[in-house]
Structure 1
């Protein structure tokens, strides 16, 4: 199951991070969020209402974790 999601997350996160200034960081956090939530919002920015789990994950400082 995890391998199936790895491919899903890679393709979704590649699209999500395609315009990010810091690609490596964006992809890293997007994949973490995707594996946890099994969802990535559409587009390169915003649309987080499509995926409440992804939207609501926070880092240790209380800021949004997912790009």
Structure 2
């Protein structure tokens, strides 16, 4: 089943202060991992791929 990244990321980022940036990175991570964790934060054990993607500075890439 194909995940609806736009829908999942809108949900994930619904409480984010930097909404556009959250959507951008969530979208990248969703396309790569085919998973977005439930809720608006945390719950990353559900999506290990999403949780483990790093940015160029070694921090979490995915919101």
Poorly superposed stretches of 4+, deviation over 3 Å:
none
Greater Rg by CA: 1
Question: What count of residue pairs does the alignment treat as equivalent?
Answer: 62
Q: Distance in 2 between matches of 1:12 and 1:51?
A: 13
* TM-score of the two chains, using structure 2 as the length reference: 0.95
How well do the aligned residues superpose, as a CA RMSD in angstroms? Answer: 0.9
* TM-score of the two chains, using structure 1 as the length reference: 0.90
User: Whose helix proportion is higher, 1 or 2?
Assistant: 1
